Amino acid sequence: MPNCFQCHNLVDAEAVRCPHCGATLKAFGHPGIPLYQATKEDYLCDTCLYHEDDSCTFPQRPYAKTCTLYCDRDNPPGQNDTVVYKSPGGWLSLKAWCYRNRTLLILLIIVGISLWLALS
């Protein structure tokens, strides 16, 4: 369970507001959108990757205290998040290919049957 940024009490990870102090923890009242908050003296833009590479379009830049798109420049996303997708191989690969290309297969079967009838 994370701590509230304002009162430092434990709160539920899905909580939209802190039950102790009422501080907003999630953006737009939606539990799936994290709201990053700066401490009282600092600004989020000082450590944000988007501010550093000048790709930020947030209107409160460079004095943002809250932000939904904050990305810590010391720990950028995707640095260690490599996902490797493996093909199932064998029969499953053939079955998946046939499903994706069923129209082509039907046309090939029709052409094959037509050629067989024409030549026999």
Residue 45 has pLDDT above 80, yes or no: yes
Residue 28 falls inside a structural domain: no
Tell me, what's the pLDDT at 101?
94
DSSP reduced 3-state for 118: helix
On whether residue 109 sits in a domain, the answer given is: yes
The structural domain count of the chain equals: 1
- The answer to whether residue 61 sits within a structural domain is no
For residue 38, tell me if it sits in a domain. no
pLDDT band, residue 2 (cuts 50/70/90): confident
Q: Is residue 104 part of a domain?
A: yes
> Is residue 108 in a domain?
yes
pLDDT at 79: 60
User: Higher pLDDT residue, 81 or 44?
Assistant: 44
Residue 56 inside a domain? The answer is no
At residue 87, the pLDDT reads 67
Of the pLDDT bands very low, low, confident and very high (cuts 50, 70, 90), residue 18 is confident
Closest alpha carbon to 71 in 55, 87, 88:
55
Does residue 51 lie within any of the structural domains?
no
pLDDT per position as a tens digit, 63-115: 888 888 888 888 766 665 566 666 667 888 888 889 999 999 999 999 999 99
Core vs surface per residue 79-117: b (16+ CB within 10 A) or e: eeeeeeeeeeeeeeeeeeeeeeeeeeeeeeeeeeeeeee
Range of the domain at 115: 90-119
